[in-house]
Structure 1
Amino acid sequence: VGILAFVARYIVRLRVLSWRHLHGDDWFGIAVLVFFAALTGCKLGTYHFGANKDFTERELLKLSECQLARVELGSKLQIAAWYFYASFLWGLKAMVLFLFSRLSLPSLQRRLLHVYSVIAAVTWLVVILTISLSCRPFSRNWGTVPFPPHSCSNRTQNFYTASVLNIVTDALILSIALPLIWNLRVPFARKVALILLLCSGIFVISAAIVALLMSLLDVASTLNTNLWATREEIAGILAVNAPILKPVFHRSFWHR
């Protein structure tokens, strides 16, 4: 569904504009699509091989060397998924910020846009540093025997950091649009698209909160964590791309 949404986006954009006239959010969307594809691949690999947090220490001691090697590989894919997950979510934010940068914003909101862009970049870096530094040595992230500590297996610190900063930055970005929608000097159809973006953004924040709560209820299950993260990712993709698909509902789009 996520990939289809991106495909639909670029079909619409290339039909309305040529590739030479694509905007920053369009180009950034390609990177986000790559992150999403890599993230999905890592999740599938982790599901196939398993990860260290899916086993108890006693269960790991009973596994053969070949089985332990598979668990280590799955755990490596899971830690790689964290990097792609953070880059994917913050990439979606960058797409929205690029979209807002094309609007005729008052000077105050223009300054807020610049400030929030810096905040988004800094919070992404904080998440990446949390993933990289909260388990030392780094190789313990995929350790099996001896069993790694909680910070290297369940990684609840990653959940809290990524989820809280994700929700806060989403709220900040949406706060730019909230007081301005009806006062913007844009056509009514584009104003409707921005309202849809705002509503979908609120939905994404709600999805992120639910995903955090459901993941923490069963933090020891890689499958549960990845399933709820996937739901959040799909919601984000649909929210960011939905306003761009507006021309599909115009008769002129089909008669170009």
Structure 2
Amino acid sequence: MASPLVSSAVEEFVLLGIIIADITLRIHLRARAVGWKRLTSDDYLMILVAPVYSALTASAHVVVVKCKGQANDNMTAKQRASLDPASKEYSIRTIASKFELIQRVLYFTTLWLTKASMLAFCRRLTERLSNYRSREHIGFAILGATWIADFLIAMLNCRPFHKNWQINPDPGAACYPATSPYSAYGTLSLNILTSLYIFLIPLPLVWMASLRLWKKMGLIMLVSANCFVIAISILRGYLISLDTISATRQASLWSVRVCFVAVMTTNLPLLFPFMRRLLVSLCGKPARPQPQMQATTRFGETVPTNENARLNSGCYTACCLDTWVFDSRFVSNGNACTTNARDDERHDGYCNCRNRMSV
């Protein structure tokens, strides 16, 4: 049976491999659909997530495996006084505390990048809807302000700064990078606030779509899957507070797990059409014929789209999931769905308006 250290190392790098594959697949599908030059800000933000998450995994590996989860917390006054500053344990605890501080910043940076990517994705969906623009601008302002607030909490909650890795005398709970209550509750509160705000942006868009209730609820769950990160973050805080003996190890492992869930749920709306068609092709289920309506490109060419691809209000359609998650910028034009895609643009089978698939 593998030791806990080996199991932790395997878990960290398996999750990292899945994340890299997930991001690579997303970017590949987007580039295949619209071309590399037409990737948008949500794609570039997700590309940026990859090195930040990799750095988070590396820092967690140092703390959990190399330093065996030992930092400047969970020590009695007697243990602190008797620990020789020249000893290996002293050095390990100091290094782990420094890496925990770095990991804390990487943790909320990864989360905030996924939120920014999701918000940019929502902006792409509602690009032609002016009443959504102010909400999205406010969202980006909130993300920027809360990231700065979280960074300041991490940097300033323990003063002087070197106490973050001080062993003796006891620097106090606020100076334990892994379990500092100010940082833990601050990050959790800001995480919940920003996730809920971003969740509320696409909600009216989906709710107004002319869809059956079960399909509408499915789309709501799809675009709001990122809220699952809130539950995992709360679980992380609870487990850290519960296990005071190995709190540093738990904090490191759960930071990686929370960010893993955040990245996967952020990419889910873009990968869902691909996965659905892959499952359909594997199961050999024939595509169901769909009622058609006419849509026009900016060059005046008529192309078929799904009859359900209209909103009751004549606005954007959440039903155009297969198209807008990869490319599109749909805006109502009477009863037609108008797209700004180039007439000669090459699409793959998943997002070509001319080869419209059902939602």
Per the shorter chain, which TM-score range? 0.7 to 0.9
Return the offset for 1:194: 5.3
Gaps of at least 5 residues in structure 1 are 186-190
Q: Is the 8 A contact 1:60 1:68 kept in 2?
A: no
Q: 1:199 to 1:174 in 2, by over 3 A?
A: closer
Partner Cα distance (1:215, 1:30) in 2: 30
Q: 1:232 to 1:12 in 2, by over 3 A?
A: same
Q: Is the 8 A contact 1:92 1:237 kept in 2?
A: yes
| Divergent runs of 4+, >4 A | 191-194
The aligned counterpart of 1:77 is: 99
1:19-77 deviations in whole A, cap 9, x for unaligned?
Answer: 21111011111221111111111111111212111433333344342321121111100
TM-score normalised by L of structure 1? 0.88
Partner Cα distance (2:44, 2:268) in 1: 17
Alignment of 1:164-243 (within 5 A): 164-183=189-208, 195-218=220-243, 221-243=247-269
Q: Is the 8 A contact 1:82 1:131 kept in 2?
A: yes
Structure 1 stretch 235-244 or stretch 223-232: which is displaced more? 223-232
The aligned counterpart of 2:23 is: 6
Partner Cα distance (2:34, 2:105) in 1: 33
Structure 1 stretch 8-17 or stretch 122-131: which is displaced more? 8-17
The CA RMSD measured in Å over matched residues stands at 2.5
Return the offset for 1:111: 1.0
Q: 1:219 to 1:169 in 2, by over 3 A?
A: farther
The aligned counterpart of 1:149 is: 172
Partner Cα distance (2:223, 2:270) in 1: 13
Partner Cα distance (1:18, 1:121) in 2: 29
The number of residues matched between the two structures is 250
Q: Report which of the two has the higher share of strand.
A: 2
Partner Cα distance (1:113, 1:219) in 2: 40
Return the offset for 1:216: 2.5
1:63-100 deviations in whole A, cap 9, x for unaligned?
Answer: 34232112111110000001111111111110011101
Q: Is the 8 A contact 1:197 1:240 kept in 2?
A: no
1:124-176 deviations in whole A, cap 9, x for unaligned?
Answer: 11100000111011111011122211100131110000001101110011011
Structure 1 stretch 224-233 or stretch 27-36: which is displaced more? 224-233
Letter in 2 for 1:55: M
Gaps of at least 5 residues in structure 2 are 1-17, 211-215, 282-348, 351-359
Instruction: Name the % identity.
Output: 29
Q: Which has the larger radius of gyration?
A: 2
The aligned counterpart of 2:155 is: 132
Q: Is the 8 A contact 2:56 2:256 kept in 1?
A: no
Q: Report which of the two has the higher share of helix.
A: 1
Q: 1:225 to 1:5 in 2, by over 3 A?
A: same
Secondary structure of the residue aligned to 2:58 is helix
TM-score normalised by L of structure 2? 0.64
The aligned counterpart of 1:59 is: 79
Q: 1:194 to 1:165 in 2, by over 3 A?
A: same
Higher relative CO (Cα under 8 Å, sequence separation at least 6) belongs to 1
